[in-house]
Structure 1
Amino acid sequence: MSSPEPSTPTWTPGDFEHPNQDLRRSMIIALVFAYTLSTLAVVLRILARKVTGSQLFMDDYLIIVALIFKYACSSGVVVLLFNGMGSHITMIPAKNLAVYFQLGFANNFIYTGCIAFIKYSILALYKRLFAVRHMTIAVNVMFGFVTLWVVGVYVAGALLCIPTKKFWDQSVEGACLDPAKFYYGLQIPNILSDLILLIMPMRVVWTLPIPKSQKALLSGVFLVGGLTLIFDIFRLNAMIRLVEQGPDITYNQVPVIVWTCIEAAVGITAACLPNLRPLFKLGHRNFWSQISSSKNVSEISDRTLVGSTHPGCTVTSTITSNHKKSDSYTVRQTFEMPRYEDYKDEKAVERV
């Protein structure tokens, strides 16, 4: 006669063979969301350039680099899923646990690189759109601030444990920094810089000679980046809670990684949104026909301004010969979004 089936499971919920599926499910959803949203945003941004017939600008190249870092970060999370994420740390084989912590060590650098290039892209966009002295100075100062933050995080990350191997092998003699202090040092400058990036264009936008409703709409486009700021704060809170929950990192770390994936994806999307305007202005024309015909836009003479996309007005005129070539080139690029100096010189252009 066979023995009765046990009424309780013979495995520990969250062990290596039977990881917590609820935790893993939330991680997989965040991964799919991050991959899809960030990729779609960058693809639409490049497509918008195709529609306007313009070349890629420096801010476009920088956001592509950020997307590459994002892919690297998310791919690392996929590896974590197969090496103990959602399992209790005491149940994970030593070789898998070493891989888990090695990826955790590398992620400090990959995540920081992704966020830095998102910020660089936004700053390059501001410099291109708002060609006024105080904005140029502000962009240069913020570029330096972000660069110092990256250098600081990379140096601190490299010295988290001395020797470095102790980070993933606790049997090695040495010492490690307090992780809570490292997390504060990582996230507080990140949150501060995001807040400054949000308010930087507001002064310029609200001095433009356009209706208040359009100023509010344009401000809203830039303020979408505030979502990134919110996720920054959630991520910092999750990181501090992780430290307080004890050493079972592989089981408790899921919320931190979820917020990390979402923060970077939303940051890339927010950086791309101001560049997607041409895709919403295709009108009644067929989408693919618009893309095909846009090839001819690049052949327009530098001396001609056709269908300027200044909010609230459409201008068709010719720039006089005393305008510099660089100025006419700038005006031609306003199919995407007008520069501040274009608004300032709008009346002069219309009088010609």
Structure 2
Amino acid sequence: MQDSLDLAKLQARQCNLPHESQTTKMLAILVTVYVTALIAIGLRLIAKSFAKIWSTDDALIVAAIVIAIAPFSLVIIMATMGFGTHLYDLQSGQLTKILQLLYAAEIVYVFVLLFAKLSLVTFYLRIFTVPRFRMAAYSLIAFLVLGQVIIGFLTIFSCHPIELFWNKDIHTGGCLDINQLAYANSALAILQDLIILALPIAMLPGLQMNKNKKISVAVIFLLGSVGFISTIIRLQVLAVFGNSIDPTWDYVPVVWWTTIELGVVIVCACLPMIRNLVEKWFPNFKLFKWSSPKPSKDSVGSSSVGTDDKSYKMGRYQKFGRSTSPPQFSDNYVRDHIGGPPSKTDEISPTKYRDMYAYGGYKPKVLEDPMSPPQPYDLSWRSTNPYGISGENPYAVGKTNYRLNIEMLERKDRNFDEELPDIPEHPEQTEVEYYGRCCEQQLCEQQQKHTCSTCGNSKPQVPMPAALPQCLPQEWTTWTTDDGVDASTRAYWMRQANLALPNLCPFAAFGAVVVNHTAGGLGELVCTGANNNQGSGNPTLHGEMVAINNCSAIFTDPQGRYNMTPADALLAFGDLTLYTNAESCPMCASAIRWAGFKEYVYGTNIDALVDMGWGQITVSSKEIFNQSSSLSSETGFLGDVLTNETDGFFSWQFRPNATCPQGCSRAASGRCAPRSRCRVFNPAL
């Protein structure tokens, strides 16, 4: 080898060959690639830290970046010895050391690539649970391990004796064709990458998604597998590998494309997790967001939608062939990204608000039907009028079940106070309805001149969004939660939870509404519920449970607007917010977490209810949420919202001298009863 080096130096002097270097360019590429890979893994780990749940694919990708320190470091050492310059510029003995380091780097490279690809495949195993897919994934894992072990073995023993790789002065033994081995390695890597890409893409036809969503899913998986592009480019520069008379110069492109290949594979394995982090930090960033289905114009106000109308189908679960397996695909891609326990520091200071957005990440927007009418609890889809909605007044809240002839669902006695006056089916024409209250019952009487023209039979002249901020404490008017919903909007929907009650002052005054805030503006009322224990004989029918049951019935009604499959209906809750005028009992709080609501907002808290005389199981919603970190859903909660109004609905039942809710007075029985026949009605929606 020394003779070859001396000959090269002599030729350079005689031919006046240039003394040039690629070292700076190579090191710049090396550092850029490794730093980018570190940033990608750092962002991935930050995303996973929200869930505080770690999985095998995390360990594998961390192992890949740690092991990658070795080949990156070896190349840097090679550069200090002259790698990147021409052979004739090396000092005596440097070529042998460079080839030794190159030999070691080649071996480690094989296993870095293995760990990075295994991370991606094990990630697929967590989001797809179809047996056939899992069998294919496990087969791919075996193929990856076997293939890389064979390539690693051939690399280690490419020469016999091994020293012959870097010491050509040994004249016994021999080497494999290094060039052909490099081609075989690259060809195997490309085949592996294509299978890794094809495996999830093959699942797309079975996904119950529209075309745009499928394209978005395909883009994510494609980005996770583009390492083969750098491998293909690397394949083109391998022609000189093992055949060069100037290896320290000719091998440089091979080294930096190998480096790029490693970095790209590591970064791509992190992209699905980074997607969720980007959507959490930059919710308006549209690159990886789905476009929600839009309702057709002729569907607004319609009581049913044909089976061919797919604008309300939100299929986010996949099917594999004819499999009848349960829902088996999460479009959030990273199940361990959600459902983490709330942080102890996630409390904020605005008056009467405690924000516990502890379950990070965003999901696709759904249910953008702005005219979905509120519905009371009803499971009578067997009747001719499935929801008992009055044709004259489809937006009546809490009054539509009085005409049902189903014994367990009759609600005419649900207030269990015989002395309460009967409430008519429709409001009298001489009464004014102001956002669910008569003019005399306005919550902001001092602002009456701004919100109600007269107390005759006219409607308010100023729409609720403009009037509502006048009804709020000054410090609330500019306060906004993390998802962009301001305090006035929160207060509005909390008032709607009060309006979901059967009258102004029922004994069990627990009301709830389910709202879609992804629809823009104030949001969209999806369904309502009120406590119906006494009316149904079912002790579990608290307001929240009634609302959840009602939403499920609406979503899955085959003659209804949405006509969802049960799997789709379950997923729809992930984009909805439940408002309840009192903190949920442990049963309802657990149901909220099982449903996977995006948010849960309550008014009067459990401690206040106990102080007022209500019997309660004193386990707070926060405690329930703290114990639900293993659920595959995300829910934020906001407490003590508008308690200056919600408290009044619960403070009179066990206190004879307490003031009745606005619009009510004490009846002969001692209970509060409505003073007038003003119908609880919401014309603003």
Alignment TM class, shorter chain as reference: 0.7 to 0.9
Partner of 1:26: 25
Partner of 1:164: 162
Partner of 2:147: 149
Instruction: Tell me how far 1:209 sits from its aligned partner.
Output: 2.4
Q: Does 1:329 align with 2:630?
A: yes
* 1:22-50: CA deviation from partner (whole Å, max 9, x where unpaired): x2232022112111110000000001112
| Residues 186/67 of structure 1: CA separation in 2 closer, same or farther (3 Å cut) | same
> Residues 84 and 250 of structure 1 are in contact (CA less than 8 Å); yes or no, is this contact kept in structure 2?
yes
Instruction: Tell me how far 1:95 sits from its aligned partner.
Output: 2.5
Mapped to 2, the partners of 1:87 and 1:284 lie a distance apart of: 45
Asked which structure has the greater RCO (Cα within 8 Å, sep 6+), the reply is 1
| Residues 133/309 of structure 1: CA separation in 2 closer, same or farther (3 Å cut) | farther
Instruction: Tell me how far 1:307 sits from its aligned partner.
Output: 8.7
Partner of 1:350: none
Instruction: Tell me how far 1:261 sits from its aligned partner.
Output: 1.0
> Residues 235 and 256 of structure 1 are in contact (CA less than 8 Å); yes or no, is this contact kept in structure 2?
yes
Aligned AA (1:47): I
* 1:75-132: CA deviation from partner (whole Å, max 9, x where unpaired): 1110110112122224423422121011111112111111100110001100001111
Q: Does 1:311 align with 2:364?
A: yes
Q: Does 1:179 align with 2:145?
A: no
Aligned AA (1:63): I
| Residues 274/256 of structure 1: CA separation in 2 closer, same or farther (3 Å cut) | same
Matches within 5 A, 1:243-254: 243-244=242-243, 246-254=244-252
Secondary structure (helix, strand or coil) at the match of 2:203 reads helix
> Residues 87 and 250 of structure 1 are in contact (CA less than 8 Å); yes or no, is this contact kept in structure 2?
yes
> Residues 24 and 85 of structure 1 are in contact (CA less than 8 Å); yes or no, is this contact kept in structure 2?
yes
Mapped to 2, the partners of 1:296 and 1:312 lie a distance apart of: 18
Instruction: Tell me how far 1:211 sits from its aligned partner.
Output: 2.8
Secondary structure (helix, strand or coil) at the match of 2:168 reads coil
Partner of 2:227: 228
Instruction: Tell me how far 1:203 sits from its aligned partner.
Output: 2.6
Mapped to 2, the partners of 1:94 and 1:135 lie a distance apart of: 56
Mapped to 1, the partners of 2:73 and 2:89 lie a distance apart of: 24
> Residues 161 and 173 of structure 2 are in contact (CA less than 8 Å); yes or no, is this contact kept in structure 1?
yes
Secondary structure (helix, strand or coil) at the match of 1:332 reads coil
Q: TM-score, normalised by structure 1?
A: 0.77
| Residues 219/330 of structure 1: CA separation in 2 closer, same or farther (3 Å cut) | farther
Q: Does 1:64 align with 2:62?
A: yes
Secondary structure (helix, strand or coil) at the match of 1:282 reads helix
Aligned AA (2:54): L
> Residues 183 and 240 of structure 1 are in contact (CA less than 8 Å); yes or no, is this contact kept in structure 2?
no
| Residues 207/255 of structure 1: CA separation in 2 closer, same or farther (3 Å cut) | same
| Residues 211/204 of structure 1: CA separation in 2 closer, same or farther (3 Å cut) | same
Mapped to 2, the partners of 1:220 and 1:296 lie a distance apart of: 25
Give the alignment partner of residue 257 of structure 1, picking from 255, 258, 261: 255
Mapped to 1, the partners of 2:188 and 2:194 lie a distance apart of: 10
* 1:247-296: CA deviation from partner (whole Å, max 9, x where unpaired): 211111111011011111111111000011332233689xxxxxxxx999
Mapped to 1, the partners of 2:635 and 2:113 lie a distance apart of: 28
> Residues 48 and 277 of structure 1 are in contact (CA less than 8 Å); yes or no, is this contact kept in structure 2?
no
Give the alignment partner of residue 298 of structure 1, picking from 341, 363, 373: 341
Instruction: Tell me how far 1:185 sits from its aligned partner.
Output: 2.0
Instruction: Tell me how far 1:309 sits from its aligned partner.
Output: 4.8
Mapped to 2, the partners of 1:188 and 1:309 lie a distance apart of: 39
Mapped to 1, the partners of 2:65 and 2:630 lie a distance apart of: 29
Partner of 1:279: 277
Aligned AA (1:102): Q
Mapped to 2, the partners of 1:135 and 1:33 lie a distance apart of: 36
Partner of 2:317: none
| Residues 13/265 of structure 1: CA separation in 2 closer, same or farther (3 Å cut) | farther
Mapped to 1, the partners of 2:203 and 2:635 lie a distance apart of: 17
> Residues 338 and 632 of structure 2 are in contact (CA less than 8 Å); yes or no, is this contact kept in structure 1?
no
Mapped to 2, the partners of 1:151 and 1:334 lie a distance apart of: 44
Aligned AA (2:223): V
Mapped to 1, the partners of 2:77 and 2:635 lie a distance apart of: 44
> Residues 190 and 231 of structure 2 are in contact (CA less than 8 Å); yes or no, is this contact kept in structure 1?
yes
Matches within 5 A, 1:178-197: 178-197=177-196
Matches within 5 A, 1:212-227: 212-227=211-226
Mapped to 2, the partners of 1:132 and 1:334 lie a distance apart of: 27
Mapped to 1, the partners of 2:17 and 2:133 lie a distance apart of: 55
| Residues 262/308 of structure 1: CA separation in 2 closer, same or farther (3 Å cut) | closer
Percent of paired sites with the same residue = 28
Mapped to 1, the partners of 2:257 and 2:149 lie a distance apart of: 23
Matches within 5 A, 1:5-154: 20-21=20-21, 23-50=22-49, 52-154=50-152
Aligned AA (1:311): P
Q: Which has the higher helix share?
A: 1
Mapped to 2, the partners of 1:79 and 1:296 lie a distance apart of: 45
Instruction: Tell me how far 1:239 sits from its aligned partner.
Output: 1.3
Mapped to 1, the partners of 2:71 and 2:634 lie a distance apart of: 34
> Residues 105 and 167 of structure 1 are in contact (CA less than 8 Å); yes or no, is this contact kept in structure 2?
yes
Structure 2: give runs of 5+ residues left out of the alignment.
1-12, 284-336, 344-358, 367-574, 578-591, 596-627, 637-685
> Residues 279 and 361 of structure 2 are in contact (CA less than 8 Å); yes or no, is this contact kept in structure 1?
no
> Residues 57 and 118 of structure 2 are in contact (CA less than 8 Å); yes or no, is this contact kept in structure 1?
yes
Mapped to 2, the partners of 1:263 and 1:207 lie a distance apart of: 32
Structure 1: give runs of 5+ residues left out of the alignment.
1-8, 286-293, 301-305, 321-326, 336-352
Larger C-alpha radius of gyration, 1 or 2? 2
| Residues 226/147 of structure 1: CA separation in 2 closer, same or farther (3 Å cut) | closer
| Residues 230/277 of structure 1: CA separation in 2 closer, same or farther (3 Å cut) | closer
| Residues 64/333 of structure 1: CA separation in 2 closer, same or farther (3 Å cut) | farther
Mapped to 2, the partners of 1:171 and 1:10 lie a distance apart of: 26
Instruction: Tell me how far 1:13 sits from its aligned partner.
Output: 5.0
| Residues 219/225 of structure 1: CA separation in 2 closer, same or farther (3 Å cut) | same
Partner of 1:291: none
Mapped to 1, the partners of 2:181 and 2:220 lie a distance apart of: 33
Aligned AA (1:319): W
Secondary structure (helix, strand or coil) at the match of 1:97 reads helix
Secondary structure (helix, strand or coil) at the match of 1:218 reads helix
| Residues 60/283 of structure 1: CA separation in 2 closer, same or farther (3 Å cut) | closer
* 1:204-237: CA deviation from partner (whole Å, max 9, x where unpaired): 2342223321221121011014431111011122
| Residues 333/189 of structure 1: CA separation in 2 closer, same or farther (3 Å cut) | farther
Instruction: Tell me how far 1:61 sits from its aligned partner.
Output: 0.9
Secondary structure (helix, strand or coil) at the match of 1:85 reads coil
Partner of 1:3: none
Aligned AA (1:75): S
